[in-house]
Each structure stands twice: as C-alpha cells, then as structure tokens.
Copies of this chain bind each other. A is one copy, B any other.
Amino acid sequence: MAQAQRSASTSVIVDAIRASGTVSRVGLTVTTGLTGATVSTVVRRLIDDGLVVETGRAESTGGKPRVLLELDPTARYAVGVHLDHASITCTVTDLAGTSVALSTHPGPGTRSPAEVLVETAAEVDRLVDEAGVDRSRVLGIGFVAPGPLTSDGGMHRTPPEMRAWTDYPITSELGRLTGLPVVLENDATASAIGEHWAGGTGTENSFAVLYMGTGLGAGLVLDGVAYRGSSGNAGEIGHTTLDLDGPVCWCGTRGCVEVLAGPAAVVAEARRSPDLAAAAGLSTGTSGSEPQPSVVSDLAAVARAAAAGHPGARDVLERSARYVAAAALTAVNLLDVRMLVLTGASLAAAGDIYLPAVRGVLASSLFARGAHPVDVRLSRTAATAPALGGAALVLQTHLVPAPGPLTSPGPLAPPRHGTPPGEPTPLST
C-alpha cells in the first residue's frame, strides 16, 4: 500500500495545481511539502494522462526559468443532474468545474421514474453533444435528489410528492441507460459543494447551506470536508423540532420546522385565505393532505404577492421565516460555523424575507455573535448549484482517492452512495 501514499501525493498535487492556477514544480514542493523527486514523478504521470499541461516559463530568482504547469480543463468532464419535484437541471462541467452546457426542464410530475430516467439519459447525450465534448472524456454522472438516500443508490424515505421514486434503483438504471458510472447525492449536500466550487463561499472551510426547495435541508462542509453522517443523511434540518405539541410530520415526530413552516406549509396557509390565493394566483381546488402540484412555484407566487405589497402574503412568509430562522440558529449553535448560505428555489424566490429573519435571530444570540459573527448570505447560484455540485462530486471521486492512512481527504471527500465507477480511474495510482 505504498500505493496509498502515491494516490495521496497525486491528489495533493492536483489540488495544489487547481488552487494555484499555474505553478512550477519547485512551487509544488513548497506548497505540498513533497520531495522534488515525488513531485517530478507524479507530474510526469499527470502530463502523460493529459490532466496537466506545461504552459510556459516563469522568471526565476536566478538560475534558469521554471516551467509552469496547469490543469487542462478539457481533459475530463462530468455531468450533474438535479432532480427536484419542480424541475430537472442537467449540466456538463469541465475538469475545473466550469459549466459548459446547462438545461432545465419541468419536474417529473406524474411520469414514472423509468420514463424520467430515459428522458434524462437522452438529455445527457444531447448536452454532451451540444458542448462538443469527446464522450470518452466524460467521467460519470452525479445525480442529485431530495434526501434521505440509501446506500443502494436510490431514495428510500421520499417526501410525499415523490413517492413513486421510493427505492427506485436510480444509479443502476441511469448507469445502464448512459453507460456512465452514477453517484447519488442529496440536494442540500450537493448545493453546499456546488456553492463551494462556484466560489460562493470564498475561502471559508466550515459552512452550512440552508436549502429550501420543495423540502428543507442543510448541506454541511465542516473543516473543509463535506460531512454526510454515518448513513449519508446528515443535515436533516427540516426535522428540527420547534413545537413538541405541534402537528405530526411525515417523518413521524411532531412540530418539525418543515411541517410548521416549510414550503408546503406556507402554500397551504396562503391557500386558506381566498383573498391571498386569488392575489397570488394559487389554485384553490385542492387542500389538506393532498400533494400540491408544485410547491416551489406556488411559494414563488406568494413571494411575488408579498413583494407587490399584499400584507397577508408577507405575514405568511414572515411567520415561516421566524421558524426557519430558529432552526438555523439551532444548527449554527450545534455546528459553530461562520457562514450560512441560503439556497434552493424557495429561498431564492423569497430571500428578501428569509434573509433578514435569519440574520436577526443569529444576531440576538450570544453564541452566534460571541466568538465570531456568522456571515448569512443568499446564494447567487441557487438554481444551478445542486447540479454543479453533482458534477463536482464526480470529479472529486475520480481525482481524489478515498481517505486512508496518510491521505488528506482533500477539500471535499467523495460521496458514499452510488455505483462504483465502472471505468478505471484516469490517474494511475
């Protein structure tokens, strides 16, 4: 297992080149602490594999000019697919994590999972072609879905509006349809990774994202590593208890923030006011326990009504924001993070109400304002961060070996779910 050491050296060097943009071999020995011999060997292999290119020479302080190295972003590609009740977003990214093709289509609605995956496979093919990407350079697909997920590569505990997906073997089916390895990640964690790759979290290495789409979840990056928990289901902030005697949630306990104040609760409350429902343009045909057609678009309609000055709409959202902020405070107190990013389609639509509410509650707490302020910010890439995060996971899985002795897991460790890559990894280890 000196192999583990070589893999570790490779991942450290790839990360260092990516972080530097361009860097010389000597620069790599300085930033990585590896010997010149190790750096030379690993860089030679990366050049042979086409991942790194020599790109020019830098003036040196005496002696001969140094050859500069950089990643070749076109050497490998990855696909990210984000399945939400409201929409399906696909992206193709290059090795640097930059999106080279992107599409958004309506959510699954009443179509079967099998039908949706056939369409998704066709859309992946179309995007790869559209981007002019050599298919042999596509490493795999990161499939992003609402959690909780299972180690069998599917969704086991589905929210009510996605019951048809329960235990459907997403990774094996999509893998079969596309011939690509598929890894699975939940939307909140993928958002956190996507925000990080898109630069939305700057240099912060411990942060949480509060993800509100159809449901409510948190993505956690702790001490630089995406934290997934013992079964890959960490971050279930939607099931933070806020009222011990509150209504029963679909998770089985009472008074969760999701049942009290999540998007479906907001829309249901808005629908109970005929005046507000009419002003926002909500359908009034269904109510009670029936799944709603698109919670996300209905919540966005309520947010538009609030922005247009409808006081009832504002009240409904502010009530929700008060609960969501309390759950955010609990998470920040438990995790001691310096940054919280609000993301997901619902928070993107109503951020002007949720952002000040969360900031206000965090500012009122000794802990949150004590040792350091908590930077609460709205995502600028809420719509695309989950799909981008899915693609980034594929790159990570292939470029960074699994943690082991002498291995730093790198900024974002590989995911636990999904089929193992069906092809040899591009880096010889």
Contact = CB atoms under 8 A, between A and B. Distances in A.
B150 A371 contact: yes
Given A241-B330, A371-B150, A33 B2 contact: yes
B233 A206 contact: no
Nearest to A236: B333
A110 to B, nearest CB: 25
A306 B29 CA distance: 66
B1 A372 contact: no
Interface string A360-396: 0100111100111000000000000000000000000
A236 B336 contact: yes
A239 interface: yes
Contact of A242 (B223, B241, B361, B407): B241
A408 interface: yes
A252 interface: yes
A112 to B, nearest CB: 24
Interface stretch (A4-12, A67-75, A114-122, A309-317): A4-12
A253 B407 contact: no
Nearest to A150: B371
Contacts of A337: 229-230
Interface residues of A, number: 70
Contact of A235 (B234, B253, B334): B334
Contacts of A143: none
A406 B336 contact: no
A423 to B, nearest CB: 25
Contacts of A233: 336, 367, 370-371
Given A8-B406, A252-B364, A157 B370 contact: yes
Nearest to A205: B230
Interface string A321-358: 01100110111011111100000000000000000000
A240 B2 CA distance: 46
Given A252-B365, A366-B251, A244 B371 contact: no
A271 interface: no
Interface of A: 1-5, 8-9, 12, 32-35, 148, 150-151, 156-157, 206, 218, 222-223, 225, 227-237, 239-244, 250-253, 322-323, 326-327, 329-331, 333-338, 361, 364-367, 370-372, 403-408
7 contacts: A148-B371, A156-B370, A218-B334, A230-B338, A234-B336, A242-B242, A406-B407
